[in-house]
Amino acid sequence: MPISHLSHWGLLVTGDPLLYGADASIILASVGIVFVLTYFKKWKWLWREWLTTVDHKRIGIMYLIAAVLMLFRAGTDALMMRTQLALPNQHFLGPEHYDQIFTTHGTIMIFFMAMPFIFALMNIAVPLQIGARDVAFPYLNAISFWLFFFGAMLLNLSFVIGGSPDAGWTSYAPLAGLHFDPGPGENFYLLSLQITGIGSIATGINFLATIFKMRAPGMTLMKMPLFTWSIVATNILIIFAFPALAVALALLLIDRIAGAHFFTIHAGGLPMMYINMFWIWGHPEVYIVLLPAFGVFSEVVATFSRKTIFGYKAMVSSMLVISVVSYFVWAHHFFTMGGGVSVNSFFAVASMLIGIPTGVKVFNWMFTMYRGRIRMKMPMLWTIAFIPCFVLGGASGMMLAVAPVDYQFHNSYFLVAHFHEMLIGGVVFGMFAALYYWWPKVFGFILDEKWGRWAFWFWNIGFYVCFEPQYALGLMGMQRRMYTYPSGMGWTALNFISTIGAFLMGIGFLVMAGGIVYSIFKGERDLTGDPWDGRTLEWSLPSPAPHYNFAVIPTITDRDQWWTLKEQGKQDTLRPRPEDIQPIHMPKNSAKPFLIGVAFFAAGFGFVFNWYVLAAAGLFCIVILLLVRSFEYHSDYHIPVDEVVHTETALGRL
Amino acid sequence: MAAIVEHTHGRVEHDPRPVEYTVKDDSLKIFGFWLFLATDMILFATLFATFVVLRTHVATGPSGHQLFDVQGFIEETFILLTSSFTGGMSTFFMRRGSVRGTVGWLLVTAVLGASFVTLEITEFLHYVSIGATMQTSAFLSAFFTLVGTHGAHVSLGIVWMLAIVIQLFRYGITPATARRVFIVNLYWHFLDVVWVFIFTVVYLTGVMM
C-alpha cells in the first residue's frame, strides 16, 4: 500500500473495513492470550518450558504450531482471492488489496508454512531416528527458531502497520524497486525473509553436523532411515541455496534504502539479475520442501505395508541426484527472458531430467506396497493420495519444461495449477502424512481416525475441484495475478467451480483442526510408544520421549533396527540396563536465543521504516548477545544417574 | 552437544590429537564452522557473480581503471596476507600451550587487520569525495557491496579476536579456548582467500581493463 494511505497520526493502515476487522481481531486475540496466561499463572511456565528451551522436541512443537497457524492465515488469503475471482467484475477486493493478498499468500505459504513444517519434522524425528540426545548445536537450534518466529511476526505485522508487500512472493525488480513501489511494504518482505533465512541457514548447518557426526554407533550412512537421508539432501540444498537468496534480498534492500543501482532500470542496473538470483535459490527451494515429504512417504509406505522399502539404495541416490540437478534448472522459471536457444535448451533438458529420479521414487513406493499387508491408517491414506496427484502435477511440469511451449503457458493459470499440484499434492500431503504419523510420538496420543478421514476427503475432493479447472483456465488465456476479469470470456463457470473447491479445502482444514481438539480430549492414548508397529528407532522409545531421549545410546546393526529386533523377539535389547546408565550431558536452557530474535526484530523494524537509530541499536544488541555467549563456559549440565533411573522406572522401562 | 558422557575439562595426557579436538563437543563445533564457511563462500560467490556481471555497467561514472590506485590495494593485500601468517603463528603457539605466544600473535593479527580496515575505509572515503559513490553506477554499487562485505567480515573478526584474547587471559589454554582460537583463525584464513579473489577479480582485472 502506498505511503499516502498511512494515517497522519501513526503508521496504522487505514481505509478498509477488512483491515479494521483484522486490527480488532489481533488486539482481541492478544488481550485474550495475555488474560489466559495471567489468569492461569502460566507466564513462568511459558518462559521456562518453552521460550528458553533448547530441547529439539519442544522446538519442533513450536515450529509445528507456527506452521499450522500460518497455514490458516495464508489459507484465509487464498479463500479471499477465490471469493474475489468466483464471478466476473467483483468488487470484494480492490486491485491494490488483491496484490497484497496474493503476495502474502505465497510468501507465507513458502517461508512461514512449508519451511517451519519441515523444520518441525526434522526436529521431531531426526535425533530420535539416529539415536542422538539432541541436535549438534541445541543453542543454535533455538536461535534458528526465534529468527523464524520474529521474521514471521515482522511480515504479519505489515498487514496492520505500514502496509503489506504487493509485488508478488517473488518480488521481482524493478517492480519491487523504490521507484515503482514506495512505502514500507516491500521492506517488510525483504527484512522478514532475510531474518528467517539466516535461521534456515543455521538449521541446515546444524542438522548436517547432527546427522554426520552424532549417529548411534553402528549406524553407517547406508543404515540411516530414509527420512533422515531426505533431511541430509534437503540441508545440503539449504546451505548452498539460501546464501544466494540472502544476497538477492540484501542487494534489493540496498537499492531501496541506499539508492544503489543493482536492479534499477537506469545507471546500469540489471533487473533480470535479481530474477536469476532469486531462482538460483528458488528452484532448489522447491526440493528443499519436497524432499522431506519424500522421506516421510518412504517411512510411511514401509511401515504401513509391513515391508522393507523397495530399492533403498535407489531411493538414496535418486534424492542426491535430485539435489544436485535442482541447481541446474532455475532458468525454466523465465524461458521468456530471451536467453536464446542454447540457454533454454540446457534448462529445458535439465528440468526434464529431474523427472527420472522422481519417477524412480514413485515406482519404488508402489513396489513397496506390492504384496504388502497394507493398513489404511491416516498416514498411509495421505501417501496414497499423494501419488496420483503428484504424477499428474509432474506431467504438467514436463509440459511446462518444453521451452517453446512454455511461451504459451508462462505465468498463466496452467502454471498456477501445476505448482499448487506439486506443493499441495506433494509437500502439504506429505506434511499431513507426517503429522498423523509422528503425532503420537510427540504428544502421546493418536489423532482420531474418523475426523481424519472426513478432513482427508474434504481436502482431496476440494483439491481436484479447485485446481483441475485452473489448467483449463490457463489454456484459455487467464493469467495469474489478475484481480478480476470481464464476463463473456468463457471463464466464469470454471472459476466458480474452482472457488467451490477452495472452500472445500477450507472445510477440510477446519475438520482437521476439530479432529485435533477432539483427540486432545478423547484420542486413544499411546501407551506402547509404538502405535503403528514401526520400523525405526524412534518407535522404541516411550511417547513422548524423555527429554534426554535415550537413557543408553543403542548400538545399530540393521537398517530397520527396531523392526528386526521385534521379528527376533529381542525388543528388550533396546531397554536400558541399570548398570549401563551414566550421567547424561545436556545443554542448559537459555534466554539469549529469544533475545537475539527480539534484537533482530527491532533491527528489521528499524530498517523497514528507515529509522536507523533503532536499526543500529538492534544490530548492536545482536553483537553484544553473541559476545556474551562467547564468554559463557558452563552452558551445560549433567543429569545424575539417579534421576535417569527414576525417570525410566516411572516409564516402566527398568 | 548432548551425547558426550566422557566430557572432561582438562586435556587428556598423551592424546595424539591437537588440543582443540580433544573434547568431542569442540571438534563438533569445528566441523559446524567448516559448514558455515561453505555457506559464506556461496554468499561471496554470489557477490562476485554480481560484480562480474556489472563491472562494465559504469553508466556516467568512472571505471575501475580510472579509479583504482595500484599502490593502495597492493598495500592492503600485503598487510592482510601477512596477518594470515601471524594468525597461523597464534595457532602454532596455542598448540604448544603458550598463552603469551598465542595472545601476542593474535594481537599482532588484530592490529594488522585494523590497519587493513583503516586503509580500506580511507580508500572508500576518497572515492566518495571525488563523487564515485554507491549511487553513481551499478558497477560502483557492486564494488562497494562486495569489498565492503569483506571489510565488514574483517572488522567483526577483529572484535572476535579481542574477545578471545580476554578469554585466554582468564582461562589459559584449554580445549574450549583452543577451539575458539582455531576457529577464529579458520575464519581469518578464509577471509584472506576471499581477498585474493577480490585482489584478482576486482583490482588487478580492473586496472588492466
Contact list, B46 vs chain A (CB under 8 Å): 243-244, 247-248, 277, 280
Rounded Cα–Cα distance for residues A543 and A441 (Å): 5
Residue B134 at interface with chain A, using a CB cutoff of 8 Å: yes
Mean pLDDT of chain A: 92
Least trusted range by pLDDT, from A21-25, A176-180, A198-202, A556-560: A21-25
Contact list, B55 vs chain A (CB under 8 Å): none
Beta-carbon contacts of residue A521 (< 8 Å; ≥ 6 apart): none
Contact list, B38 vs chain A (CB under 8 Å): 239-240
Contact list, B167 vs chain A (CB under 8 Å): 630-631
Residue B32 at interface with chain A, using a CB cutoff of 8 Å: yes
Residue A207 at interface with chain B, using a CB cutoff of 8 Å: no
Residue B9 placed within a domain: no
Check whether A3 has a pLDDT greater than 70.
no
Structural domain for B57, as ranges:
21-208
Query: How distant is the Cα of A561 from the closest Cα of chain B, in angstroms?
Result: 20
Closest to A448 in 3D by CA, of A522, A373, A337: A522
Residue B152 placed within a domain: yes
Taking residue B121's Cβ as centre, other Cβ atoms within 10 Å add up to 13
Q: What is the distance, to the nearest Å, from the Cα of residue A512 to the centroid of all Cα atoms in its chain?
A: 18
Residue A5 placed within a domain: no
Contact A583 B160 (CB under 8 A): no
Could you check whether the bond before residue A174 is cis, i.e. omega within 30 degrees of 0? yes
CA angle A559, A386, A199 (to 5 degrees): 70
Residue A613 placed within a domain: no
pLDDT tier at A26, thresholds 50, 70, 90 = confident
Mean pLDDT of chain B: 91
- Tally of CA atoms within 13 A in the half-sphere of A437 that contains its CB: 34
pLDDT tier at B4, thresholds 50, 70, 90 = very low
Among A276, A585, A627, A639, the residue to mutate for chain B (most B Cβ within 10 A): A585
Tell me whether strands A636-639 and A584-587 are parallel, antiparallel or unpaired. Answer: antiparallel
C-alpha cell at B8: 572432561
Check whether A491 has a pLDDT greater than 50.
yes
Per-residue model confidence as pLDDT tens digits over A255-285: 999 999 999 998 999 999 999 999 999 999 9
pLDDT tier at B1, thresholds 50, 70, 90 = very low
Contact list, A173 vs chain B (CB under 8 Å): none
Residue identified by cell 529386533 is A565
Residue A247 at interface with chain B, using a CB cutoff of 8 Å: yes
Q: How many domains does chain B have?
A: 1
Contact list, B2 vs chain A (CB under 8 Å): 132-134, 138, 548, 584-587, 636
pTM (2 d.p.): 0.94
Residue A262 at interface with chain B, using a CB cutoff of 8 Å: yes
pLDDT of residue B5: 37
Contact list, B3 vs chain A (CB under 8 Å): 132-134, 214, 553, 585
Written as one string, the DSSP assignment of A223-265 is GS-HHHHHHHHHHHHHHHHHHHHHHHHHHHHHHHHH---SSSS
Contact B167 A209 (CB under 8 A): no
Least trusted range by pLDDT, from A320-324, B3-7, B36-40, B193-197: B3-7
Query: What is the amino acid identity at position B192?
Result: D
H helix or E strand, kind and range, residue A587: strand A584-587
Closest to B182 in 3D by CA, of B20, B36, B3, B5: B20
Structural domain for A407, as ranges:
42-590+635-650
Contact A406, A332 (CB under 8 A): yes
Contact A630 B28 (CB under 8 A): no
Per-residue pLDDT, averaged over A16-21, amounts to 74
Per-residue pLDDT, averaged over A21-38, amounts to 82
Contact A225, A302 (CB under 8 A): no
Residue A312 placed within a domain: yes
Residue B36 at interface with chain A, using a CB cutoff of 8 Å: yes
Residue B30 placed within a domain: yes
CA distances for A221 relative to A225, A232, A537, A629, angstroms: 9, 10, 15, 33
What is the three-class DSSP state of A637?
strand
Residue B65 at interface with chain A, using a CB cutoff of 8 Å: no
C-alpha cell at A42: 502460566
Query: What is the amino acid identity at position A352?
Result: M
Per-residue model confidence as pLDDT tens digits over B78-96: 999 999 999 999 999 999 9
Among A262, A272, A549, A588, the residue to mutate for chain B (most B Cβ within 10 A): A262
Contact B46 A242 (CB under 8 A): no
What is the three-class DSSP state of A585?
strand
C-alpha cell at A41: 499463572
Per-residue model confidence as pLDDT tens digits over A611-634: 999 999 999 999 999 999 999 988
Which residue in B36, B139, B163 is closest to A205 by CB distance? B36
Per-residue pLDDT, averaged over A363-371, amounts to 95
Contact A246 B50 (CB under 8 A): no
Residue B39 at interface with chain A, using a CB cutoff of 8 Å: yes
Check whether A142 has a pLDDT greater than 80.
yes
Per-residue model confidence as pLDDT tens digits over A311-322: 999 999 999 999
Contact B5 A244 (CB under 8 A): no
Residue B98 at interface with chain A, using a CB cutoff of 8 Å: no
What's phi and psi for A224, nearest 5 deg? -75, 145
Rounded Cα–Cα distance for residues A60 and A122 (Å): 8
Rounded Cα–Cα distance for residues A524 and A440 (Å): 9
CA distances for A642 relative to A512, A615, A638, A650, A652, angstroms: 42, 49, 11, 12, 15
Which residue in A244, A260, A586 is closest to B46 by CB distance? A244
H helix or E strand, kind and range, residue A586: strand A584-587
Query: How distant is the Cα of A258 from the closest Cα of chain B, in angstroms?
Result: 8
Please report, for the domain that includes residue B62, its CATH number. Answer: 1.20.120.80
Check whether A15 has a pLDDT greater than 80.
no
Contact B193, B83 (CB under 8 A): no
Closest to A85 in 3D by CA, of A618, A478, A623: A478
Per-residue pLDDT, averaged over A137-158, amounts to 95
CA angle A75, A79, A85 (to 5 degrees): 145
Q: Scan residues 267-286 of A and list those with Cβ closer than 8 Å to B.
A: 267-270, 273, 277, 280
Residue A619 at interface with chain B, using a CB cutoff of 8 Å: no
Among A247, A537, A622, the residue to mutate for chain B (most B Cβ within 10 A): A247
Check whether B11 has a pLDDT greater than 70.
no
pLDDT of residue A4: 38
Residue A141 placed within a domain: yes
Residue B193 placed within a domain: yes
Rounded Cα–Cα distance for residues A165 and A154 (Å): 12
Closest to A644 in 3D by CA, of A544, A550, A571, A559: A550
pLDDT tier at B14, thresholds 50, 70, 90 = low
Percent of chain B surpassing pLDDT 70: 93
Rounded Cα–Cα distance for residues A276 and A85 (Å): 31
Residue B164 placed within a domain: yes
Written as one string, the DSSP assignment of A2-68 is -GGGB-TTSSBB-S-HHHHHHHHHHHHHHHHHHHHHHHTT-HHHIIIIIIT---HHHHHHHHHHHHH
Residue A18 placed within a domain: no
Residue B3 placed within a domain: no
Per-residue model confidence as pLDDT tens digits over B17-27: 888 888 888 99
Contact A262 B160 (CB under 8 A): no
H helix or E strand, kind and range, residue A157: helix A138-157
- A266, burial (CB in 10 Å: exposed 0-12, middle 13-18, buried 19+): exposed
Least trusted range by pLDDT, from A33-47, A530-544, B115-129: A33-47
Please report, for the domain that includes residue A196, its CATH number. Answer: 1.20.210.10
Rounded Cα–Cα distance for residues B100 and B118 (Å): 27
Contact list, A133 vs chain B (CB under 8 Å): 2-3
Per-residue model confidence as pLDDT tens digits over B173-184: 999 999 999 999
pLDDT tier at A36, thresholds 50, 70, 90 = confident
Residue A584 placed within a domain: yes
What's phi and psi for A550, nearest 5 deg? -110, 120
Rounded Cα–Cα distance for residues A351 and A372 (Å): 33
Is the Cα dihedral A556, A557, A560, A563 positive or negative? negative
Contact B28 A247 (CB under 8 A): no
Residue A257 at interface with chain B, using a CB cutoff of 8 Å: no
Residue A651 at interface with chain B, using a CB cutoff of 8 Å: no
Residue A288 at interface with chain B, using a CB cutoff of 8 Å: no
Residue identified by cell 547406508 is A222
Per-residue model confidence as pLDDT tens digits over A585-620: 999 999 999 999 999 999 999 999 999 999 999 999
pLDDT of residue B3: 34
Residue B11 placed within a domain: no
Contact list, A144 vs chain B (CB under 8 Å): none
Rg of the Cα trace of chain A? 25
Contact A205 B171 (CB under 8 A): no
Q: Scan residues 147-176 of B and list those with Cβ closer than 8 Å to A.
A: 156, 159-160, 163-164, 166-167, 171, 176
Which residue in B2, B28, B145 is closest to A251 by CB distance? B145
Query: How distant is the Cα of A195 from the closest Cα of chain B, in angstroms?
Result: 15
Contact list, A208 vs chain B (CB under 8 Å): 35
Residue identified by cell 528467517 is A196
Residue B179 placed within a domain: yes
pLDDT of residue A251: 96
Contact B50 A251 (CB under 8 A): yes
Considering only alpha carbons, which residue of chain A is nearest residue B62?
Answer: A267
pLDDT of residue B10: 47
Check whether B12 has a pLDDT greater than 50.
no
Considering only alpha carbons, which residue of chain B is nearest residue A628?
Answer: B163
Q: How many domains does chain A have?
A: 1
Beta-carbon contacts of residue A200 (< 8 Å; ≥ 6 apart): A115, A119, A144, A148, A238, A242
More confident residue, A635 or A438: A438
Considering only alpha carbons, which residue of chain B is nearest residue A280?
Answer: B46
Rounded Cα–Cα distance for residues A300 and A174 (Å): 45
Residue A586 at interface with chain B, using a CB cutoff of 8 Å: yes
Strand partners, A638: A585
Per-residue pLDDT, averaged over A367-375, amounts to 94
